[in-house]
Amino acid sequence: MKRVTGIGGILFECEHPEEMKSWYQKHLGLQTDAYGTNFEWRHADDPNQKGFTQWSPMPKDAAYLKPSNHSFMMNYRVENLSALVPILIQEGVHILDEIEEVEYGKFVHILDPEGNKIELWEPNDEAYDQIVDGRTK
In a domain, 54, yes or no: no
What total of structural domains would you count in the chain? 1
Q: What is the span of the domain harbouring residue 119?
A: 63-137
DSSP string, 72-137: EEEEEEES-HHHHHHHHHHTT-EE-S--EEETTEEEEEEE-TT--EEEEEEE-HHHHHHHHHHHH-
* pLDDT class of 135 with cuts at 50, 70, 90: low
pLDDT in tens, 67-78: 999 999 999 999
Residue 47 within any structural domain of the chain: no
Give the tens place of pLDDT for each residue, 20-58: 999 999 999 999 999 999 999 998 888 998 999 999 999
pLDDT tops 60 at residue 136: no
The whole-model pTM stands at 0.88
User: Residue 109 domain-assigned?
Assistant: yes
Q: For residue 92, how far is the Cα from the chain centroid?
A: 23
Query: Residue 130 domain-assigned?
Result: yes
What is the CB neighbour count within 10 angstroms for residue 46?
Answer: 9
Residue 129: the pLDDT is 77
Q: CATH number of the domain at 102, please.
A: 3.10.180.10
